[in-house]
Chain A
């Protein structure tokens, strides 16, 4: 199993479930939840966290700026 290099935190109450982050993610990390948030949106979440490379594409493209992105510092061998 791939070791995650990155991670995202979605403000799930602010997310409108537009799915643009899902389509932009190069490693298919993000899914839309079966649940809905307080406004009835199927919010984004890390369905496949291990695949995250921390590229920040999702954060950059999110129209509602509800994704914060982290990337692990490379570990010295």
Chain B
């Protein structure tokens, strides 16, 4: 018998999938950050014991089917409208835990008004924002967060700032609003970052339970299919290019 087989026993278990994450195989591409962030949300819901009181609002984009993976009640919103749904769900059922899960197109392009005004009203919700700088679901078009010079199918020569404007730093913008209590930018490309991101998500839900206002967690993410790289290359590219424009860390913590 090898060591390995003796080690694999219940008393030595240190990491396994939480039951709040369903067994359904995720439809995401190999290496996609969505899966990691879904897992973190499920783990936080499990650890806080709020599975029965949490309602998720899914977006339009790659994570439109997020409700297939986390075992809670969900509403699927029209593109960009998740903060409006979350507003009503929380206001009508203030005792529940409500979060929206949105990509960059959903949160920072088509739903900018809903995002800004939910944050400005200080809706007591959690907003999870996946920023991978591209439109994944529709096949790699330019996002509001596509970096200058970064190619996408609707800017094949790279984003031309003189034509398309500069990528929007929506988290910086939202941090200016009095309604937000916690705005942070995280990543999930290393184990250490995953652990930090989870702490941030947990804090956001705790803020909601303490009625502190809107918590926004941006996760700078990869879209290796859209970026046309391997998952590992994409992580490296993100470190080298995305983090200088979208620096990690807390933008606001009150």
- Interface residues, chain A, CB within 8 Å of chain B? 3-7, 9, 14, 16-20, 22-24, 41, 46, 49-50, 52, 54-73
Please tell me if the beta carbons of B15 and A7 are within 8 angstroms of each other in the complex: no
**Stretch with Cβ within 8 A of A (4 or more), from B3-11, B86-94, B176-184, B208-216:** B3-11
Bound: A73/B7 CA distance, A:
9
CB closest residue in chain B, given A1: B3
Is B21 close to A, CB under 8 A? yes
Interface size of B in residues (CB-CB distance below 8 Å): 39
Q: Point out the residue from A9, A19, A46, A60 that lies within 8 Å of B31, measured CB to CB.
A: A19
Q: Is B63 an interface residue (CB 8 A)?
A: no
B244 within 8 A of A: no
Known contacts A56-B14, A73-B11; A20/B4 CB under 8 A? no
Q: Is the CB of B232 within 8 A of A20?
A: yes
Chain B, 19-48, CB within 8 A of any chain A CB? 21, 25-26, 28-36, 39
Bound form: Cα–Cα A66–B17 in Å: 8
- Taking a contact as CB atoms under 8 Å apart, the answer to whether B7 and A70 are in contact is yes
Query: Are A18's CB and B30's CB within 8 A?
Result: yes
A57 to chain B: which residues have CB within 8 Å?
Answer: 191
- Closest CB in chain A relative to B189 CB, distance in Å: 8
Give the residues in chain B near A46, CB-CB below 8 Å.
Answer: 4
- Name A52's contact: one of B4, B34, B35 (CB within 8 Å): B4
Known pairs A20-B232, A46-B4, A61-B189. 12 more at Cβ < 8 A? A4-B7, A7-B5, A7-B12, A9-B8, A17-B30, A19-B231, A58-B191, A62-B36, A67-B15, A68-B17, A69-B13, A70-B12
* Residue B241, interface by CB 8 Å: no
Contact B7 A64 (CB under 8 A): no
| Chain A proximity of B72: nearest CB distance (Å) | 16
CB distance from B221 to the nearest CB of A (A): 10
A59 to chain B, nearest CB (A): 4
A61 touches B190 (CB 8 A): yes
A4 to chain B, nearest CB (A): 4
Q: How far is the CA of A41 from the CA of B29 in the complex (A)?
A: 11
Which 5 pairs from chain A and chain B are nearest by CB? A63-B35, A18-B31, A57-B191, A16-B30, A18-B30
Q: Is the Cβ of A70 less than 8 Å from the Cβ of B21?
A: no
Contacting residue for B12 out of A17, A23, A41, A73, CB 8 A: A73
**B2 an interface residue at 8 Å Cβ cutoff?**
yes
Beta-carbon contact of A4 and B31 below 8 Å: no
Q: List 23 A-B contacts (CB under 8 A).
A: A4-B2, A4-B7, A5-B7, A9-B8, A16-B30, A19-B31, A19-B231, A20-B231, A50-B3, A54-B7, A56-B14, A61-B36, A61-B189, A61-B191, A63-B26, A63-B33, A63-B35, A63-B39, A68-B15, A69-B14, A70-B7, A71-B7, A72-B12
